[in-house]
Amino acid sequence: MSDVHARTVAYVRESEIPPAPPPEAVGGVVKWLRDNLFSNWFNAILTLASLYAVYWVLAQSLPWILNGVWNAGSLAECREILGGTSGACWAVLSERWNQLLFGFTYPSELYWRPSLAFLLLLVCAAPVLFPALPRRMLILTALYPFVAYFLIWGGSIWTPVLTAVGFMVGYAVYSRLVTQSFAMGFLAGTVAALVFWSLQGYLVPPLSTVAPIALEAVPSRDMGGFMLNIILGTVCISLSLPIGIALALGRQSSMPIIKWISVIFIEFIRGVPLITLLFVANVVLAYFLPPQSNLDLILRVVIMITMFASAYIAEVVRGGLAALPRGQYEAADSLGLDYAQAMRLIILPQALKISIPGIVNVAVGLFKDTTLVSVISMFDLVGMIRGPILASTDWNGVYWELFGFAALLFFVVCYGISQYSQWLERQLQTDRR
């Protein structure tokens, strides 16, 4: 039988034939176009209308953008080079880039300091943004605010060093008393830090005499441009998140005093426009300070913007807390966890996961709202454009180029924040894996 079978069968395939590709009509680019752009006659009309709108916008804008002039000393010189043709005057960016980024009066020889602070921000924020990195890198994150202050503002190194020591003193007191009571530990730690900082003014001069380590001091009034927007956005977002979480927890507290303080603060701040709070920071707040005090304007603005953002984040986090089923709170109680442990280990991780889109929305809006400081004579990016640059006779009349550049900078930052939040949501979708 085997010999007969061998003579009748000429070839036997030992491997499987790979599947043939589908026809072009049911796969590949044609299928994608049919499913997404031309699935029916109405979608086909919308697709064609959208393509025409995109073509019209590009046909009108690309020649103006590509025909731009980069080397000129004024708008009149730009127009002379263009000779009547359509084109952008990009020379204003190459001529005034330093003022757009660093302000009008920040010393040009010190640009390396805020630039280095920005690069360190990207490095030191990474351990917080990406949990896969080693946890020991959080030490860099904790030290960054003091290093950045020293680089940007300058002065004696002992000012940020003693400020950091004050936080360490407060944390030491808190960690010693938190085992007895969370509220007692937090209150005692705060008081200890405030007492140490009140003595800081007496400690800085002798330490500066013994070890005179300092950088050239730059006053806050010399800061401006996009650097000021980055400073306000980074500081206010970083401070408003923990304060907003505390307000959200305070609003749900069973203690009436804490609850009503949180409710009144949140509702009052949310009912007042941010521009009103900025005017309060600029004018009214000085009346509530001691006669001899001179609270820095940037610090006053940071306080007001942080208060404003904290109230909105508190409502976002409260929505996340309300979305959790009651069983999660009961599970924490059944494990014998106290309030602080339950919130830290069970409740807040889930609530913050739900609240990520809302928190990011507040952060993006807050960063864009930093441009409102231009109405109180602070020369941020928009303030620089509306003030010194457009007020000069050389560049009076250049609008699209300057505001387009400002829009591009804000878009890059806000789009980056949005993309990170979407990546973080995908990383935290443990219930869909």
**pLDDT, tens digit (0-9, with 9 covering 90-100), for 289-315:** 666 666 778 888 888 899 999 999 999
Same domain, 211 and 225: no
What is the arithmetic mean of pLDDT over 275-290?
Answer: 77
Query: Radius of gyration (Cα) for the chain, nearest Å?
Result: 30
Cα–Cα distance, 132 to 145 (Å, whole number)? 22
Cα–Cα distance, 145 to 338 (Å, whole number)? 32
What is the arithmetic mean of pLDDT over 268-287?
Answer: 83
Q: What is the CATH number of the domain that holds 387?
A: 1.10.3720.10
pLDDT at 3 over 60: no
Domain membership of residue 317 (yes or no) is yes
pLDDT at 242 over 80: yes
Which of 196, 215, 234 is the last residue in one of the domains? 215
Scanning 252-347, the segments in alpha helix (DSSP H) are 256-270, 274-282, 297-323, 326-334, 339-342
Same domain, 232 and 356: yes
Kindly indicate the confidence band of residue 431, based on its pLDDT and cuts at 50, 70 and 90.
Answer: low
Domain membership of residue 148 (yes or no) is no
Same domain, 96 and 23: no
Domain membership of residue 134 (yes or no) is no
Same domain, 260 and 173: no
Cα–Cα distance, 419 to 180 (Å, whole number)? 42
Q: Minimum mean pLDDT among 28-32, 243-247, 296-300, 315-319: which range? A: 28-32
pLDDT of residue 116: 93
Same domain, 282 and 398: yes
Domain membership of residue 117 (yes or no) is no
Domain membership of residue 123 (yes or no) is no
Domain membership of residue 189 (yes or no) is yes
Domain membership of residue 373 (yes or no) is yes
Which of 197, 215, 233 is the last residue in one of the domains? 215
Full residue range of the structural domain in which residue 15 is found = 1-66
Number of structural domains in the chain: 3
Same domain, 211 and 229: no
pLDDT of residue 293: 62
Same domain, 327 and 388: yes
Same domain, 283 and 385: yes
pLDDT at 21 over 80: no
Same domain, 402 and 283: yes
Residue 217 is classified by DSSP as -
Pull the structure tokens for residue 201: 């003014």
pLDDT of residue 232: 92
pLDDT top residue among 402 and 72: 402
Per-residue pLDDT tens digits for 332-353: 778 777 777 788 788 888 888 8
What is the arithmetic mean of pLDDT over 313-318?
Answer: 91
pLDDT of residue 311: 92
The residue type at 268: F
Confirm if 101 and 407 have CB atoms less than 8 A apart: no
pLDDT of residue 207: 84
Q: For tokens 């069968």, what's the residue?
A: 9
β partners of residue 215: 155
Domain membership of residue 414 (yes or no) is yes
pTM: 0.83
Which of 174, 190, 215 is the last residue in one of the domains? 215
pLDDT of residue 10: 60
From 413, 255, 240, 375, select the one nearest 312 (Cα to Cα). 240
What is the arithmetic mean of pLDDT over 266-281?
Answer: 87
Same domain, 178 and 225: no
pLDDT of residue 86: 81
Same domain, 24 and 173: no
pLDDT at 428 over 70: yes
What percentage of residues in the chain have a pLDDT greater than 70?
91
Same domain, 210 and 233: no
What is the arithmetic mean of pLDDT over 1-9?
Answer: 55
